[in-house]
Amino acid sequence: MIETNETHDPALTSWVSSANDAHSDFPIQNLPFAIFRLSGSSESFRGGVAIGDQVLDLAKAQKSGVFTGIAQQGLDRCCEPTLNAYMAMGQPVWSALRLALSRALRTGAEAEKSLQHCLIPQADVEFDLPCTIGDYTDFYTSVHHATSIGALFRPDNPLLPNYKWVPIGYHGRASSIGVSGQMFHRPVGQTKAPDALEPSFGPCKRLDYELEMGIYIGKSNELGDPIAIDQADQHVFGLCLFNDWSARDIQAWEYQPLGPFLAKNFASTVSPWIVTTEALAPFRKAWNRDENDPQPLAYLDSETNRSHGAFDISLDVSIETEQMRANGEPASFLSRSSFIHSYWTVGQMVAHHTVNGCNLQPGDLLGSGTQSGPLHEEAGSILELTKGGKEALVLANGEQRTFVEDGDAIIMRGWCEASGAARIGFGEVRGQVLPAKYKG
């Protein structure tokens, strides 16, 4: 497990003054990574670290002469157009660069003079995916989501008997994952109403979002060598916000017997910033399994997982309709939840994924599954909030929604707060639906 250290000291401030704003997602205690370039330019994409409302350009920082040793070796890899090579280097390098960046960005640091010219306002940049995502696996770790979705798809049998023993997941598709700002066309496909004799074909009528955490693998494991639960932190580079767009009507017709397919592979959106596992150290919490539930098998259990396996990350979702944009109205709040409710931890997901010898590779993405909380209003999908499309939501401007409509943007945010720690945030992930490319 990664301990807190001087980089987490809540008393630290930065010479980048916007980082000292108590409401900033990116104080000096955070230091998340992204891939960026100047908006609309033909510059090469390269690594950046968020500090306040600025991006520290890591390709410029690499040439600044400020950094040495292992931290500089890490920076060498951060100049590349993807972070895969840096993520592959492992926790000792990630930790050395974090410490060096923290010291260089602190109030009073000598490095200020050399790094001033390495800052670019976040408002002036565009992002790419932070890494090449080779493989993507989506888990299903919220028992509240699994139970309420299960009740909609199988009223007589909502939670299948394996749920409390196995961290359930499926292999998704990486090619359609995009970075925040992603716009995609409403999917088209086969659906069948429960009372229809035959399926029909056309644009999805029940388009949904899923409020998830994304988990990026850094250091790989060899094929055949499982990652033990207490070793997971050495392999998980960090977390992001993740919207796993879902076509519920397509899903309902196709998902048996092999699970989700075209209902899930038309688009998924990640936030640009990866908040590192180390930055999240102050927000680890005990993970508890109800004594009336099955206790995890030995490979999914450890003292450290029980004492610090969970991450307390507050999450919220809002919707911005075309009408809101046209009228200059703010997005309308939909729900709030937390990753703390997850039935399985990140360590358990990694241990389970590799227990059969499966090799995870740098840049692989694990989705947590929709993070619905215990209360109805904490649901992480519109399908749950509207009880299967039966109860329309009334938005702040009076518009109504049962599912996501063309022109709607869904915006998710995440942040962490704990006593004795500086608040850090994930920024946001935003994605927008365009009309279907369908000519009847």
- Bridge partners, 431 (sequence order): 182, 410
Residue 208 within binding range of Mn ion, rule CB under 5 A: no
Catalytic residue among 8, 144, 145, 353: 145
Toward Mn ion, which CB reaches closer, 7 or 368?
Answer: 368
Annotated catalytic, 235? Answer: no
**In the numeric block, which tokens belong to residue 429?**
């992930």
Q: Which of 74, 49, 1 is nearest to 280 (CA)?
A: 1
Q: Kindly report the CA angle at 197 between 192 and 202, in degrees rounded to 5?
A: 35
Count of residues of this chain found to bind Mn ion when the rule CB under 5 A is applied: 3
Shortest distance (Å) from residue 244 CB to Mn ion: 3
Phi–psi pair at 191, nearest 5 degrees? -140, 160
Q: Which of 278, 247, 240 is nearest to 262 (CA)?
A: 247
Q: Which of 138, 208, 233, 399 binds Mn ion (CB under 5 A)?
A: 138
Number of C-alpha atoms within 13 angstroms, CB side, residue 215?
26
Shortest distance (Å) from residue 148 CB to Mn ion: 14
Q: Tell me the three state secondary structure of residue 318.
A: strand
Toward Mn ion, which CB reaches closer, 89 or 177?
Answer: 177
Toward Mn ion, which CB reaches closer, 16 or 133?
Answer: 133
Shortest distance (Å) from residue 173 CB to Mn ion: 12
Residue list 284-313, contact with Mn ion (CB under 5 A):
none
**In the numeric block, which tokens belong to residue 289?**
């399994």
* 271 Cβ contact list (under 8 Å, min separation 6): 179, 180, 214, 240, 241, 242, 412, 414, 426, 427, 428, 429
Shortest distance (Å) from residue 273 CB to Mn ion: 20
Shortest distance (Å) from residue 368 CB to Mn ion: 8
* 439 Cβ contact list (under 8 Å, min separation 6): none
Toward Mn ion, which CB reaches closer, 138 or 233?
Answer: 138
The span of 131-139, 175-183, 219-227, 423-431 binding Mn ion (CB under 5 A) equals: 131-139
Residue with the CB atom nearest Mn ion in the bound state? 244
- DSSP secondary structure code for residue 227 in this structure: P
Residue list 212-271, contact with Mn ion (CB under 5 A):
244
Toward Mn ion, which CB reaches closer, 19 or 366?
Answer: 366
* 315 Cβ contact list (under 8 Å, min separation 6): 211, 213, 241, 336, 337, 338, 339, 371, 380, 412, 413, 414
Q: From residue 74 to residue 103, what is the string marking binding to Mn ion with x (rule CB under 5 A)?
A: ------------------------------
Pairing of strands 177-179, 268-270: parallel
Q: Which of 25, 57, 80, 210 binds Mn ion (CB under 5 A)?
A: 210
The span of 136-144, 156-164, 187-195, 219-227 binding Mn ion (CB under 5 A) equals: 136-144
- Bridge partners, 213 (sequence order): 241
Toward Mn ion, which CB reaches closer, 2 or 213?
Answer: 213
- DSSP secondary structure code for residue 235 in this structure: T
The span of 55-63, 204-212, 228-236, 290-298 binding Mn ion (CB under 5 A) equals: 204-212
Instruction: Name the one residue in this structure whose structure tokens are 């241990």.
Output: 351
Shortest distance (Å) from residue 252 CB to Mn ion: 15
Shortest distance (Å) from residue 240 CB to Mn ion: 14
Toward Mn ion, which CB reaches closer, 2 or 211?
Answer: 211
Q: Give the catalytic positions in this structure.
A: 145
Q: Which residues bind Mn ion (CB under 5 A)?
A: 138, 210, 244
